[in-house]
Amino acid sequence: MTGYVALLRGVNLAGRNLVSMASLPPIFGALGYREVATFIASGNVLFAADALDDDAATTIESALEATIGRPIGVVLRSRDELGACVTHNPYPHAGPKGPYVTFLADHPSARTVDRLTKARQDPEELTINGRDVYLHLPAGAGRSKLATAVAGLPDDPRATTRNWNTVTKLLDLCAKRDG
């Protein structure tokens, strides 16, 4: 059995798109996933499965929409993929807050890469590694044009961003669950 994390896009941000984390485990359980738990209110669902098929994210999105009543994008990562994301952090100099990571469902298009590269302003840094986009924002995300460009990515591919503390905590939780 493999541990996975479902990263829900844009839930519980600034009082919008509110989703009760307590409502999520039954939805995932009804899909046959086991050991379902949530972590903080930003839409992180840990679960276990023997394997995920190629349509797992779409299946989860459909179940969420049917239950919650509105579409919610989902990006999936296995424990190993999350571990690789942490291992390949290009900004260890960023300190304890570390980078932000935008998780993409698919590899970014050339257009997406161009859009993000053009939005970056010094001293910001941007690294794309497969389906993970690392953002080092020394002045914070609040006024960053790069952070705004990432937040404005269209849902194709699906994308959702987490801060470094959340990323590393999700990996720790996956590791503890897997023993």
User: What would the two tokens of residue 135 be?
Assistant: 């953002």
Q: What is the DSSP string of 60-77?
A: HHHHHHHHHSS---EEEE
In this predicted model, what pLDDT tens digit does every residue of 107-149 receive, in sequence order?
999 999 999 999 999 999 999 999 999 999 998 888 899 999 9
Q: How far apart, in whole angstroms, are the C-alpha atoms of residue 92 and residue 151? A: 23
pLDDT of residue 177: 74
pLDDT band at 35 (very low <50, low <70, confident <90, very high): very high
Token output for 49: 């499965």
The model carries a pTM of: 0.93
pLDDT computed for residue 137 by the predictor: 93
- Answer whether residue 10 shows pLDDT above 70: yes
Q: Tell me, what's the pLDDT at 94? A: 87
| Whole-number average pLDDT of the chain | 91
The residue to which tokens 């801060």 are assigned: 163
Closest CA to 88 of 143, 31, 129: 129
- Using CA atoms, how far apart are residues 111 and 101, in angstroms rounded to an integer? 19
**Going by DSSP bridges, is the β-strand pair 34-39/44-49 parallel, antiparallel, or unpaired?**
antiparallel
pLDDT band at 42 (very low <50, low <70, confident <90, very high): confident
Phi, psi of 39 (to 5 degrees): -135, 125
Best CA proximity match to 105, nearest among 170, 155, 60: 155
Q: For the chain, which domains are there? A: 2-81 (3.30.70.1280), 83-165 (3.30.70)
